[in-house]
Amino acid sequence: MLHKTKGLVLRTVKFGESSVVISCFTELFGLQSYIVNSVRTVSKKGASKASYFQPGALLELEAYHNDFKNLQRIKEYRWAELYNEIFSNIFKNAVCLYLIELLGKCLKEPEPNAELFYFVEDALQQLDKATPTVTANFPLFFALHLPYFFGFRITDEPVAEYLDLAEGAFTELMPRHPNYLEGKNAEVVSQILKVQQPDELQEIKLNRDERRRILSALEGYYALHIPDFGHLKTWPVLQELLN
């Protein structure tokens, strides 16, 4: 059956001479895989359709869907969002790829979740127009708010000296394991958990090392709560660009 839905490209793999298979988080069907034919050929005008399928691309799709198939087909596609900076600004692109990889590692089953889709769609739109300070803090904002949709969000009240990442809660007692943040780092997490709109991140002043330390701890937090999470391949690149 043919459906119209928005889709966020997570990953693209070459298939045959000119086709690709894309992993896509869709508005209607959640995580799906699609085969798209003849997108790696260059037209007479010198244009390639492969640019539509970069990780982070937001597309309007007209696609066939069958609940009993693992690989679906796309009939038509076009841009749902034309970014101004995400694909051209090296820093914003690195943040975008981090967000996409983090989301992809959390998505395990093809279950619809429109609320999550709209959260990610809005996050990318906000990232595209973000100031440098907001952009630098954006990975923290996304990594701390994404768990809400998967049932392991950190409870931010009351704020205490320590943030126990295994429990996902603040505590006055030092945890008896290494998975925790303390002092200013715990306080920053509490601040960002209260942020409702990304432009509020402009007021949160952090240096390079503070961002790195918190994001590194949050990677461990996800590994504690998401089975087979592993390591983020985009994290080393993002580390080099954080300022």
- Domain boundaries, given as residue ranges, for the chain: 1-82, 86-243
pLDDT at 94 over 80: yes
Alpha carbon distance 184, 188 (integer Å): 6
Topology classification of domain 1-82: OB fold (Dihydrolipoamide Acetyltransferase, E2P) (2.40.50)
- pLDDT at site 46: 44
pLDDT at 15 over 90: no
Backbone dihedral angles phi then psi of residue 144, each to the nearest 5 degrees: -85, -25
Give the tens place of pLDDT for each residue, 19-46: 889 999 999 999 999 998 877 665 555 4
Q: Retrieve residue 90's tokens.
A: 């090296």
pLDDT at 180 over 70: yes
Angle subtended at Cα 98 by Cα 213 and Cα 237, rounded to the nearest 5 degrees: 65
Alpha carbon distance 147, 6 (integer Å): 22
pLDDT, average across residues 145-151:
96
Give the ranges where 5-160 is alpha helix by DSSP (H): 90-106, 114-128, 132-145
Global confidence as pTM: 0.93
- β-sheet bridge partners, residue 72: 34
Q: Pairing relation of β-strands 30-36 and 72-79?
A: parallel
Give the tens place of pLDDT for each residue, 115-140: 999 999 999 999 999 999 999 999 99
CATH of domain 86-243: 1.20.1440.120
